[in-house]
Structure 1
């Protein structure tokens, strides 16, 4: 088992390690908080030279977490809105005039699910096309070449506007 790699001798793995690792891998300028600036990063355990062989082939059926059905016509929670907005950054929709508020305005859960699924499918299709065209797997696939914006982008925009499809 690998331990966390810095930046401090006291750094540990924790949920902020995800943001710290993304920041380090993509050489992003700023941390989100002092917490992710302190957190250990995972790049010491992320490699393709020594692949795991202990992964399960099938997963058990998930346990139902709630008694009621999903509220497909409900308004989005703040968390659900953030998922939609991150998906917009993945698809390139974050450069449109509808981003961020008009995109999620009056959107209900069923519409959000469709939007996120469609964006992810489009992204994976573009990854497959890039792979078939001989693009190296380390290249970043971007769905849109956004025009320069005068406003600064959040860390989520920087992370999700260009990602590598991992399947």
Structure 2
């Protein structure tokens, strides 16, 4: 149940089940404690619930253990489960943030790729092709594909590196 253990790595539903089990255990301990209290009240009234003094002493020790469970152990375990639940919620939120960041990065790379593809220029004689584009620097090659003709690429580089939505990459 420790937050330093495996519980925070489990799903929220599994952690809720552990908490529910602890609450049920607390109810059972409370009922058992009530049974012991009735037995001790009967003992005070002169009715012996236990067959000998040794069993009575063991019952008193068991009652003390039940009281310790009720007052200290179970509330402490519930607090640790609650801490584990909070840690699991934080872990899941961080995983969601990482997934959204990965998705944003994929979208950015897709926009860069579309901008690099849009930077291709070709006319009857000249092919200008982007070789490497890292977002700020561009390397391109110019090839004269016509048998005759002059090398005069006529394109606006500023608008060639825009995304489909019109933003400059």
Alignment TM class, shorter chain as reference? under 0.3
Structure with greater strand share of residues: 2
What is the TM-score normalised by the length of structure 2? Answer: 0.24
**TM-score scaled by structure 1?**
0.24
Q: Which structure shows the higher helix fraction?
A: 2
Larger Rg computed on CA atoms: 2
